[in-house]
Amino acid sequence: MSESKTPHARPNEPRFPDGPKPDPAGSHFERRIRSFQPRRSRVTTSQADALQRLWPQWGLDIDGQRVLDLAALFPGLDRIVLEIGFGMGEATAQMAAEDPHTGILAVDVHTPGQGNLLGLAERGGMTNVRVANGDAIILLREMLPENSLDGLRVYFPDPWPKARHHKRRLLQPEFLDLVAGPLKPGALVHCATDWEEYAEQMLDVLTAHPAYENTQPDGGWAPRPEFRPLTRFEGQGLDKGHVVHDLLFRRR
Ligand SMILES: C[S@@+](CC[C@H](N)C(=O)[O-])C[C@H]1O[C@@H](n2cnc3c(N)ncnc32)[C@H](O)[C@@H]1O
């Protein structure tokens, strides 16, 4: 049985009075190339319900206006990782359940996925996930303290396959500059992609950046770690015969 859908909202009209705000930091109006395309998305009734009920407790808008107190955001947890682009959040929820002592700050712009992840966390009794709404670049640039993160996860970022769109890819030297500040020395940077040529780009930019070192003695891709579950986009890539590459680097 398919779930009923809420109607589309008008642009800039908050759909959930107590939920995530559309474009909270005004990122769409910044003159900057973004790694995502603003899209209107349908939200199911159960996702809408989760957004309305759980956002005040577990959600945060990336407004670019304050530096976050991660200890207050994740009481009792002293290991915090940032996941950028969790999609529908199934893999995030599974990792949160399997590692309850690690707090996951999960960021995406995709409203249905935010509702989905909140619902999964509630149903699974996970209290170690916070869902951030907005552009991860603004979160990194304005809101995360130096030396505050124990890890970064970027699983199957949008591949932007056309050459003229490569500049939209998240994994660029400037992104690695930005993320180097909040990452603690020794923090693990874990990326995965099913786009061969993006995997090569990731390996090149991470290897060339002085703030990171490859955990693999041969300087190449890492075997897929057992702790990373199959993600939704990964499954779609595998169905098309794509090969998946994991990259595991450390902040120096
Ligand atoms: C291809 S999907 C992968 C989702 C998930 N990790 C998976 O493997 O199923 C990439 C996600 O990254 C999100 N995204 C891209 N750029 C982002 C940014 N700058 N800030 C927040 N989310 C972003 C997109 O909205 C999208 O949901």
Per-residue pLDDT at 14: 57
Q: What is the mean pLDDT of the chain?
A: 93
Q: Range with the lowest mean pLDDT among 16-30, 85-99, 103-117, 204-218?
A: 16-30
DSSP conformation class of 212:
E
Separation of CA 81 and ligand 1 centre (Å): 16
Per-residue pLDDT at 12: 53
What is the C-alpha to C-alpha distance for residues 170 and 154, in angstroms, rounded to an integer? 9
Separation of CA 231 and ligand 1 centre (Å): 12
Pocket of ligand 1 (CB under 6 A): 35-36, 84-87, 107-110, 113, 135-137, 155-158, 170, 231-234
The alpha carbon of 139 is separated from its chain's Cα centroid by a whole number of angstroms, namely 11
Separation of CA 36 and ligand 1 centre (Å): 7
DSSP string across 52-110 = HHHHHHHEEE--SSS---HHHHSTT--EEEEEE--TT-HHHHHHHHH-TTEEEEEEES-
- 206 has a pLDDT exceeding 50: yes
Average pLDDT over residues 178-189: 98
Question: 148, 199, 147, 208: which is closest to 174 by C-alpha?
Answer: 208
- 2 has a pLDDT exceeding 50: no
Per-residue pLDDT at 16: 83
- 10 has a pLDDT exceeding 80: no
- 163 has a pLDDT exceeding 70: yes
Q: Is there a catalytic annotation at residue 158? A: yes
Alpha-carbon dihedral of residues 183, 112, 29, 61, nearest 10 degrees? -50
Provide the token pair at 151.
């890890």
Q: C-alpha distances in angstroms, 248 versus 99, 135, 238?
A: 18, 23, 20
Per-residue pLDDT at 11: 54
- 7 has a pLDDT exceeding 60: no
* Per-residue pLDDT reduced to its tens digit, 28-59: 888 899 999 877 779 999 999 999 999 999 99
Q: Are strands 59-61 and 212-214 parallel, antiparallel or unpaired?
A: unpaired
Amino acid at 208: A
> Of 49, 99, 150, 158, which residue is the catalytic one?
158
- 239 has a pLDDT exceeding 50: yes
* Per-residue pLDDT reduced to its tens digit, 213-237: 999 999 999 999 999 999 999 999 9
> In the chain, what percentage of residues exceed pLDDT 90?
87
DSSP string across 102-155 = EEEEEEES-HHHHHHHHHHHHHHT--SEEEEES-HHHIIIIISPTT-EEEEEEE
Average pLDDT over residues 182-192: 98
DSSP conformation class of 191:
E
> In the chain, what percentage of residues exceed pLDDT 70?
94
Residue for token pair 């909202």: 9
DSSP conformation class of 217:
T
Per-residue pLDDT at 38: 76
Provide the token pair at 165.
């769109």
